[in-house]
Structure 1
């Protein structure tokens, strides 16, 4: 079976710890529930991702070299 999360076209997904989450929420002046969502069943998520975790996704970008987005893990 192929591990989708290791494919070269899948961007890096990282689970943030609580201090990093607070920093992001303060920087963007949002609550967790206001973040875009990602389902727990998404094959790109790290295996240890749990519902309620915030995931940092770093994608390649033509204009800014890297684009960082955040997602809230939901059921």
Structure 2
């Protein structure tokens, strides 16, 4: 059985795991802590496909009709148990 790579789907934006240095620069630029970043669960299909682990910060680059592209950032966290 062939697995679908969700990152190749046209509706899924580019997901990139940031380096420690990039994260440090990001947090300094916006004068925030990691806890203030929006969260994304570790079991999100795009996070699993790009190899993201809890504690990683992900750069998400979306196509935008008005801005050309829009960049957002997410902290990978574990999904809480029910």
* TM-score bracket for this pair, using the shorter chain length: over 0.9
Structure 1: gaps of 5 or more residues: none
Say what the alpha-carbon RMSD is for the aligned residues: 1.1
Within the candidate set 21, 30, 33, 2:32 is matched to: 30
Change in CA separation of 1:64 and 1:47 when aligned onto 2, cut-off 3 Å: closer
Aligned: 1:66 with 2:69: yes
TM-score by length of 1: 0.92
The structure whose residues are more often helix, as a share, is: 2
Q: TM-score, normalised by structure 2?
A: 0.85
Which protein shows a greater Rg?
Answer: 2
Query: Number of aligned pairs?
Result: 75
Structure 2, unpaired ranges of 5+: none
Which of 51, 56, 60 does residue 54 from structure 2 map onto? Answer: 51
